[in-house]
Structure 1
């Protein structure tokens, strides 16, 4: 989603005589609306559409297509990053493949492109050199790049090495992330997505690869608190899934494992994450076949 004309949104609300509380009534909390108007934190599309309908606005009026290359590039990367967040990696890759790296009009766009391409190379099991090449370009510009991109690059390097079973090298990069992740601000929705990506992948590494469930669980619960504070649900399915795997590895009670599975399934349904729903069904069938629901009810 591109840049939103928040000023127009606020002016329309005031012109129609709505207070924040009146506009939000029955749609969202006043705090959610306040974060939109004051901090630019765009809520879910469902909430935004309902607010716009009450104000008799269309999304096109709030997200103008100005037609310049930089705006078009940002819109493409917005779609790619959103697909990445909801685990639609193939869809994100198609968008990234359609982008010409030379079209990046500034450093921030270039760093963003490199981080997305590097993560997708890692998650889609492309050669590790492809991913590391992208991440190293960000790290070489560390003095100029914002902290979030530096941490994304370190996390990406750790993920790449972990997926190639080079755990010591992966640990080197994830250790760097742990020292600084709590310093990252979450001022916009994209900040939240990126910090959650970092914290989740750190939690995944320390649970799945290092078997350090104390650190893994702590990181995953920190990710849950970020989701709660910022009203973001997209990562909660993956977080709860990893907590279920951690609980299994620690031989916790089946009820605890099933609670994490059910929480993950609930958030997967909310966000239409069919990939995660399939993984959950397979995990539950493997562990507790007597508890599995009718497959037709999973989607």
Structure 2
């Protein structure tokens, strides 16, 4: 699945008439771009964000490729993301709870994504703040490796949103700051 991201990045780069070196300038090395496009090696999340920004891409165009090789639920997660984009969080929550069973998820990435989407749709779709906080913390507890990924940052932002909605400004600010620190 990661091969698709390399092809997508390359296609966007060529459409903008950029060389690999021009795309990499002040972001990473040309070799990083080459490895991404040709060897399916993903850079860190911060580098990938800068690359997608330079190519005028929405990160959502590539983020589904960053979570590993679990294809079983990819289409469902994409549908959930699409529903969230059009503010149908209740429908997204219902889709998660009726189509995905936690005990069938094989990778930590899938489990993190499951909990993140449960959290954001519970908070925004149904106003279930305490449920959302629980789900976001569950997502954060699943570590793939020592590197931070977009789901960790999303879960931190989800916690900030939940606390913000609950008028707990100090906690909200703390989680927003944590997510910014992780991005740096």
State the TM-score, normalized to the length of structure 1.
0.38
- For 1:89, the equivalent position in structure 2 comes to 89
The answer to whether the aligner puts 1:154 opposite 2:139 as a matched pair is no
CA offset at residue 154 of structure 1?
A: 1.2
Q: Aligned partners of 2:120, 2:132: CA distance in 1, in Å?
A: 7
Provide closer, same or farther for how the CA distance between residues 167 and 89 of structure 1 changes in structure 2, counting only shifts above 3 A: same
Q: 1:33 to 1:88 in 2, by over 3 A?
A: farther
Is residue 163–residue 169 contact of structure 2 (8 Å, CA) maintained in 1?
A: yes
Match of 1:166 in 2: 168
Measure, in 2, the Cα distance between the counterparts of 1:113 and 1:152. Answer: 12
Whether contact under 8 Å (1:89, 1:120) holds in the other structure is yes
Secondary structure of the corresponding residue to residue 71 of structure 2: helix
Whether the 8 Å CA contact 2:109–2:144 is kept in 1: the answer is no
Aligned pairs (5 A) from 1:31-180: 31=16, 38=37, 70-97=70-97, 98-142=99-143, 144=145, 146-147=147-148, 148-180=150-182
Question: Aligned in 2, Cα 1:38/1:179: closer, same or farther, shift over 3 Å?
Answer: same
Alignment match, 1:30: 15
Higher RCO (CA 8 Å, separation ≥ 6 residues): 2
TM-score normalised by the chain length of structure 2: 0.59
Identify which range, 137-146 or 78-87, moves more after superposition. Answer: 137-146
Number of matched pairs: 137
In structure 2, list runs of 5 or more residues that go unmatched: 24-35, 41-51, 59-69
5 Å-filtered alignment, 1:247-258, equals none
Instruction: Note closer, same or farther for the CA distance 1:31–1:150 as it changes in structure 2 (3 Å cut).
Output: same
Residues in 2 aligned to 1:93 and 1:32: alpha-carbon distance in whole angstroms: 41
- In the TM superposition, residue 5 of structure 1 has moved relative to its aligned partner by 6.9
Deviations 1:166-222 (A, max 9, x none): 1111111111122232x4xxxxxxxxxxxxxxxxxxxxxxxxxxxxxxxxxxxxxxx
Identify the residue that residue 44 of structure 2 maps to in structure 1.
none
Cα distance in 2, alignment partners of residues 33 and 79 from structure 1? 32
After superposition, the CA RMSD in angstroms is 3.6
Whole-angstrom distance in 2 between the partners of 1:138 and 1:145: 15
Q: Which runs of 5+ in 1 are unaligned?
A: 11-19, 45-69, 184-299
Deviation track 1:57-116 (CA, whole Å, cap 9, x = no partner) reads xxxxxxxxxxxxx53312111211232234332332232122111121111111111111
Larger Rg: 1
